[in-house]
Structure 1
Amino acid sequence: MHGSSPADAPLVREPLHAPVAHLVRGGVVEGIHYGSVVVRDADGTVRFQIGDIEAAFYPRSALKPVQAVAMLRAGLPLDGELLALTAGSHSGEDRHLAGARRILDLAEVTEDELRNVPDMPYGSAVRDTWLREGRGPSRLAQNCSGKHAAMLYTCKLNGWSLHDYLDPGHPLQMTIADTVEDLTGQRIAKVTVDGCGAPLFAVSLHGLARAAARIAAAAPGTHEARFADALRGHAEMASGAGRDVAALMRAVPGLIAKDGFEGVEVAALPDGRAIAVKIADGADRARVPVAASALARAGVDAGLLTEFAGEPLLGGGRPVGSVRPLRALGHVPLPTCA
C-alpha cells in the first residue's frame, strides 16, 4: 500500500439509483434514465450526489487508469501513446493495433500469448471495413489488447508466469488489487471477470471518483502523474477517432476521463475535482450529457461542454427532443429542439 489503510469494502446491495435524465420528445417526458452521480471538490468533499454513490458496483473499463498505474508501480517502462493505450478501450484503428504490437515486441512475446477474448474492432467504421474485407475476430483487435499486452510485459519484467496472468491469485492481479484499494481508499467488495477476461473489482462510485482525483492531481514524478500526462497527451490512443471521451479531454484543459461499458464514466481535473457517473440501464445517450452536466456542477465552464449536451432526438428527420439531465446537476446549453 502507498497510502493509508483502506476503509471497509462498500456494501453489495441493489443500488438505490435515482432519476438523472429525462428523455423529452415534443415537450413530453417520454422516458427516464436512472443512475447515480458524484461530484467531488478539490479538497475531497462531496459537492453533489444523486442516487447511490456508496454501493458496490463494477466500474468496467473506467477502472483501466488504476490498472495502468498499478503496472507502472510494478515496473512497466511505458510512456506517452503506449502508456495511454495500456488504459485504452480502443476502436481497433491501425494505430491501436500497431501500438499493441509494439508493446508485445518490447515484451518479446507474441499475440498468441494474449488471453483476452478475440473480437472485432470496437469502432463501428473500423469494424465495417473489417467485415467488408472478410476479416474475423482477433485478440489484437479486441478493445482491451493494449491493457493485456502491457500485462504480459509487466509479468515478463518481473519474472512472473505468463499463461495464467488473468488468475486473480497471480502476482500481477494481486498488485493491481492492492493499487485499486490504495487509490479508491476502500477494500474491494467482489471480484468477477470483465468482458475481456481480466479480473474486475467492485468498488463504489465514490471510490472510483476518489481514485481518478488522486491520479489527476498527483505530484510530478509520481506514477500517477506519469499516467495522467500520457492520457492527456494521447487521448485518442485510449479510445479512437470521434469518440466522446477523447473529445471531452480535448475540450476541457487538464482533464483526464475514461468511460466504461454499462454507462460508466469518470473524470478528474488537475486540482483534484472529480466526477463519476453510472447510468443504470447502461445507455451512452444518457452517460455523455449526464457526465457533462456533472462537470458543470464541478465548476467547469459550461461553454466548454456544449458539444456533450446530448444528441437531439429526431422526428421525421428534424430535432424534436433531447436527453436532458436533471437541472440540479448543472447547466449545459442544450441543442435547439422542441
Structure 2
Amino acid sequence: MASAEPADPTPIGSSNASTGPTPAGPVPSSFPAEPVLAEIVRSGFIEGAHRGRLVLLDADGSIRLAVGDVHAPMLPRSSNKPMQATGLLDAGLDLTGAELALAAASHAGEPFHVDGVRKILAGVGLDESALRTPPSLPLDDDARHAELFAGSAPRPIYSDCSGKHAAMLAVCVRNGWDVAGYLDPEHPVQRIIRDAIERLAGEQIAYDAVDGCGAPLLGLSLVGLASAFRACVTAPFGTNAHKVADAMRTHPEYVAGTQQLDTLAMRAVSGLLSKSGAEAVHAAALPDGRALAFKISDGSKRAKPVILAEALRRLDVRSEILDQLGTLPLLGGGSVIGGIRAAF
C-alpha cells in the first residue's frame, strides 16, 4: 500500500537558483546517522534496517517518546496538507465534505478523485488547464492501467496534489488574486498558508523548499508536525482546523485512495487523522490529542505501516485491522520466513 506522494526532484540545499530552497534556520552539513526504526528479519537474521526519527505526544502535548533528534528541521512533504487546507479556509475557501478532504489529499487518481478536482475548478469558472501540477498518471493501479490502455498521456489533473492546487486556485478566484502566480511563496494564498502552519505547529518555519508538485514546502521539526496534527483534532468545533480534520476523517477515501495507507488507517481507528508525506514521512493524531510523527531516513515507504502500527500501539491504540496493516511478511520459496518489524 504505497504512499501517494511524488518524489522531490531537488536535493535540499541545492545551489540551483531556479529551485529556490532557502534555509530559515540552521541546516546540518551532512545527514546524521539516526536510530533504527524498523528491521528486516529473514530466517532469524537481521539483513537490513530502516533508520529515522519518531515522536509520540500525549494528549496534553507533552512528549511520551522521542527517537532521534525530534527537534531538528525536516520536510513534512504532503503531511503538511491538513494545515495547508486550514490556511485555505482561513483565506476564504468555500468547500465542505469530500471536496474539502480532497483539498487536503494526496489522491490516487481514481475516477471519483478526478471528478472532484474538476468540480472544485468548475465552481470558480476554471478547468484543469489552470493547474500547475506536473503531468502525471494516476497512482492507483486500476486507474493508471485504464488510462494507459485508453492511450491517455500524463495530465496535471492526475497529480496526487491536484486537489490542493485546485483549492488554491479557488481561493485566488474568490479573492480576486492573481491565478497564474499562485505558487509564488510571496503570493497572498501562500502567505496565509504559512501563517496557518506556524500557528498550528506552534513554531516558526525551519526551512523553505519546493515540493514535488511545485508548491512551497515549509519545513518543521517532528515535534512541530505532531503538534500541528494535535491542534487540528483538538480545535474547537466549527473552527477551520476542526472542519479539515472532520472532512478528512469522514471521507478518508478522498484523502488517499481506496487501497492507500491513510485511508485504511483512518477506517481502522475511529477518529484517527492520518496523512502521509513523500520520502517516508507520516503524521497522525487521535481525537483526545495523542499524536505522532516520523520520518524514515532513506525515504523507503515499505516500513511505514509497521512503524505507524507500533507507534499507535505505544499510544495505547488497539485494532485488529491495524495489527494486519502492521504485519509485513518476507517470503522464501513461497513460505513466510520472516518479516519487517518495528525496532523502537
Question: TM above 0.5, one fold?
Answer: yes
1:146-295 map, 5 Å: 146-295=163-312
Task: Letter of the 1:138 partner, please give it.
Answer: R
What are the ranges of 5 or more consecutive residues in structure 2 without an aligned counterpart? 1-23
Residue 62 of structure 1: aligned partner: 79
**Following superposition, which runs of at least 4 residues in structure 1 exceed 6 angstroms of deviation?**
none
Deviation for aligned residue 1:17? 2.0
Residue among 117, 139, 146 paired with 1:100: 117
Deviation for aligned residue 1:16? 5.0
Q: What percentage of residue pairs aligned between the two structures are identical?
A: 45
**Residue 115 in 1 paired to residue 110 in 2?**
no
Are the equivalent residues in 1 in contact too, given 2:108–2:160 (CA < 8 A)? yes
Task: Letter of the 2:316 partner, please give it.
Answer: G
What are the ranges of 5 or more consecutive residues in structure 1 without an aligned counterpart? 1-8, 329-338
Residue among 327, 334, 340 paired with 1:310: 327
Greater CA drift, 34-43 or 299-308: 299-308
Partners in 2 of 1:84 and 1:286 — Cα distance?
26
**1:186-205 Cα distance to aligned partner (Å, 9 max, x none):** 11122111111101011111
Task: Letter of the 2:166 partner, please give it.
Answer: A
Are the equivalent residues in 1 in contact too, given 2:111–2:143 (CA < 8 A)? no
| TM-score computed with the length of structure 1 as normaliser | 0.92
Partners in 1 of 2:159 and 2:268 — Cα distance?
27
Task: Letter of the 1:222 partner, please give it.
Answer: T
Are the equivalent residues in 1 in contact too, given 2:81–2:104 (CA < 8 A)? yes
**Residue 139 in 1 paired to residue 156 in 2?**
yes
Q: CA RMSD in A?
A: 1.2
Deviation for aligned residue 1:314? 1.2
Deviation for aligned residue 1:124? 2.4
Residue among 20, 24, 27 paired with 1:12: 27
Count residues with an aligned counterpart: 319
Task: Letter of the 1:153 partner, please give it.
Answer: A
**Residue 23 in 1 paired to residue 40 in 2?**
yes
Q: Secondary structure at the match of 1:285?
A: coil
Greater CA drift, 126-135 or 57-66: 126-135
Are the equivalent residues in 1 in contact too, given 2:84–2:104 (CA < 8 A)? yes
Are the equivalent residues in 1 in contact too, given 2:269–2:319 (CA < 8 A)? no
Deviation for aligned residue 1:303? 3.9
| TM-score computed with the length of structure 2 as normaliser | 0.90
Partners in 2 of 1:98 and 1:242 — Cα distance?
18
Deviation for aligned residue 1:304? 5.0
Q: Secondary structure at the match of 1:107?
A: coil
Q: Secondary structure at the match of 2:197?
A: helix
